A and B are shown apart, each in its own frame.
Chain A
């Protein structure tokens, strides 16, 4: 079943589906099992389904015919709930104080408050000591203490409704990050500043009962972070329930350890290369084999990194680049989901190998939310959280986006674009200017990219799916923010290439292989620290793969021996290969440049279609001295 089928005669079909599902629900209440249902001809080949011609793959838990969406979610009333604004985490004092090596003391502090479970007595699951600990906030090599910003979250089960209450769909049990001190529920937001290291303590209070999918062993990856390997949240660094893990984020620019000890911008001198300044990161679970399930369950949040130290992206619209800030800087996490039409619960298709598509697009956890906007400029930060769907965003009134970043990294120049295509894991910062709108206007943020299976987008631009409604309110207001023309120069790629490596991403026996090999714990490449390499990505058979190497951003030097499009002349942490990844162009090969500098240890590179990732499309590389 494709979205297109859904669009045609949608209403009639929804009525049919409603009637049919009511039958199924009644039967489920009656306690019949699947076998009996089959006998009754109600699930397979029954009259109900024949009537629903064209809706292959509709059958409950019969997920895999032609890789289609397994079934149709209950209908929702659009634009009832406001867009959830991710709460910004507040600094705390951690108890016990953080240590360089694994913390010898169990968690103390408050008992259960604000719906947060009691995590006292949890012990640290980290095994490796922090690298460069005292250089970035650690008080001592041996004694506890941290002189940076301390944050504390609890991964826990939460009852959460993706639907508006009036639709009568019961809340689902999700797993998400909850702030321990306030009980604020994810997606949360960490606001970080360069020069101010962060220690984020994450407690795992997830239950054994997973409600149908997911595993309560987790590892939190800060996506795009130039992070030490022990704090990177790699796939094999999972820790179990009733433990915590201290993630150390240095918030320092790449190159600080050797190639660019210091650099300057706007009269300020800082460690590292100012041209490596990052902006919009996110963190999510990365547990081996379970990244798709656990992230789908909502273990995902935002990390925005500001550069007030060089008066660039300052978090203040009266200074630096003067980008819209504060309440006018809003991140949006797009994740498509499916809900079981019988129970209304969030559903994950466990046995899919190709990629999972949902028929309901959620934004910060809500299906089709609205956002009241003032008549001024806004900075929106778009993040596609997967598992597998690419999107292409438009504004319904034809207004352009002023694009500031690719993969959350500031571009050399602002680009004016009418639509923006985003693959799983990618982030894009834009400015949208509502100052010419009238009060009462409704403007829609729309996804118009067709994707009918896990293979990747078709590249076709189709009838819009309105994902957010902007409601323009009030008079024109004073707006000190600006749309910059030039933003941040790119770092030089004029560095000696120490080595070339080829990586081929292929489907193999229904699993996903890199260079013909399936993921395991072996290291596929040893990279010498403080060198640059040229990596060539190849993809056969056209499947789209958003490839994500951890640690540092890379630069796309060429796509199929052609220069990349302007929005890819940027610092990338994702490179998408396959069919229809740029327009309807197929890319079979990418050449990219990457540096490996400040941290040691092993990091993964993987496909960010997380279903491919969980089915072996991942390798480990290791930085060595």
Chain B
């Protein structure tokens, strides 16, 4: 069967990569994941839950990302956005998330997100926050501690551990940007940091 293949414009390819589920922010706003949070933006995102206390990975990660946010202060909410998506929507209502954000001193440009459990589960899989071991995958306390980062319009996506040094996390993001990185020393250019 000689197949026919569809040409796909970049905009469509980008959109197909993500689910566009409805989420609620810790400020109580309803947003679409792709249309409102990711499209045309530079983003960093992770999954977490407020009750993650046993391993303390989540609070440590959040604290670490607060340091990242401080390093990126002038850009946060302007051209860099951070999203932390809950793994425990039953508990993590917008109110709980707002309290959590306040407790960590989270500033503008960083949203904590909850939503319908099935949508969040689908989003988690869509973004690769999945363990190949089904037992581990069901165990929230062993969830994946990666920080996904990307420049969506350029389709440049990378990741680093949420617990990596904050300076390294920022460098990893800046490296994704065109004509920055190694050349900036040579050309006397300054990064937008």
Could you tell me which A residues sit within 8 Å of B by CB distance? 18, 21-22, 25, 28-29, 31, 33-35, 44, 60-67, 74, 102, 125, 127, 167-170, 208-213, 215-217, 236-241, 243, 288-290, 342-345, 349-354, 453-455, 508-511, 513, 518, 520-521, 614-616
Contact = CB atoms under 8 A, between A and B. Distances in A.
Interface string B126-170: 111111101000000001111010000011111111111100100
Given A34-B18, A351-B127, 12 more contacts: A34-B20, A35-B19, A61-B16, A215-B176, A344-B3, A345-B8, A509-B143, A510-B129, A510-B143, A521-B171, A614-B158, A614-B159
30 contacts: A25-B5, A28-B12, A34-B18, A35-B19, A62-B126, A64-B125, A74-B5, A127-B182, A169-B3, A210-B154, A210-B156, A213-B155, A239-B182, A289-B160, A342-B8, A343-B7, A344-B3, A344-B5, A345-B8, A351-B126, A353-B146, A508-B161, A510-B145, A511-B145, A511-B146, A513-B161, A518-B164, A521-B171, A615-B159, A615-B161
Nearest to A33: B15
A65 B160 CA distance: 21
B137 to A, nearest CB: 9
B57 A212 contact: no
A215 B1 CA distance: 35
Given A25-B6, A65-B125, A238 B130 contact: no
B182 A510 contact: no
Contacts of B122: 44
Interface in B170-193: 171-172, 175-176, 178-179, 181-183, 185-186
Given A169-B5, A351-B128, A239 B183 contact: yes
B134 A342 contact: no
A344 B7 CA distance: 9
A288 B175 contact: yes
Interface residues of B, number: 57
A168 B4 contact: yes
A343 B6 contact: yes
Given A29-B6, A342-B8, A350-B17, A510 B175 contact: no
A240 B181 contact: yes
B13 interface: yes
A217 B6 contact: no
Given A28-B6, A289-B175, A509 B57 contact: yes
Nearest to B156: A215
Contacts of B15: 33-34
Contacts of B105: none
A210 B17 CA distance: 15
Nearest to A31: B12
B148 to A, nearest CB: 7
Contact of A34 (B6, B16, B164): B16
A616 B13 CA distance: 27
A29 B7 CA distance: 8
B132 A453 contact: yes
A237 B186 CA distance: 13
B3 A66 contact: no
B86 to A, nearest CB: 17
B144 A35 contact: no
Query: DSSP class of A's interface residues: helix, strand, loop or mixed?
Result: loop
Nearest to B185: A127
A564 B86 CA distance: 47
A60 B15 CA distance: 12
Given A209-B10, A210-B156, A290-B158, A353 B16 contact: no
Contacts of B158: 289-290, 614
Nearest to A219: B182
A353 B128 contact: yes
Those 10 A-B pairs whose CB atoms lie nearest each other, nearest first? A509-B145, A510-B144, A351-B128, A67-B132, A520-B168, A289-B158, A344-B5, A518-B161, A511-B161, A64-B130
A97 B168 CA distance: 37
Given A25-B6, A168-B5, A509-B163, A217 B182 contact: yes
A34 B182 CA distance: 38
Query: DSSP class of B's interface residues: helix, strand, loop or mixed?
Result: loop
Contacts of B132: 66-67, 354, 453-455
Contacts of A62: 125-126
Contact of B128 (A167, A288, A352, A513): A352
Given A351-B148, A353-B146, A518 B163 contact: yes
Contacts of A18: 1, 3
A63 B125 CA distance: 8
B6 to A, nearest CB: 5
Contacts of B159: 289, 353, 511, 614-615
B182 A237 contact: yes
Contacts of A67: 130, 132
B23 to A, nearest CB: 13
Nearest to B125: A64
B18 to A, nearest CB: 8
A236 B128 CA distance: 26
B64 to A, nearest CB: 12
Contacts of A508: 145, 161
A521 B168 contact: yes
A615 B130 CA distance: 14
A1 B91 CA distance: 34
B146 A238 contact: no
B5 A170 contact: yes
A240 B183 contact: yes
Nearest to A521: B168
User: Most chain-B CB neighbours within 10 Å: which of A18, A342, A508?
Assistant: A342
A353 B13 contact: no
A4 to B, nearest CB: 17
Contacts of A240: 178-179, 181-183
Given A237-B182, A290-B158, A510-B129, A520 B165 contact: yes
Contacts of A210: 154-156
B13 to A, nearest CB: 6
A167 B2 CA distance: 6
B177 to A, nearest CB: 10
Contacts of A25: 4-6
A285 to B, nearest CB: 14
A482 to B, nearest CB: 47
B128 A208 contact: no
User: Most chain-A CB neighbours within 10 Å: which of B5, B129, B172, B183?
Assistant: B5
A232 to B, nearest CB: 15
Nearest to B8: A343
A127 B13 contact: no
A217 B181 contact: yes
Contacts of A453: 132
A503 B1 CA distance: 52
A432 B131 CA distance: 42
A365 to B, nearest CB: 19
A415 B75 CA distance: 60
Contacts of B146: 353, 509-511, 615
Nearest to A18: B1
A217 B175 contact: yes
Given A289-B172, A455-B132, A168 B2 contact: yes
Contacts of A28: 6, 8, 12
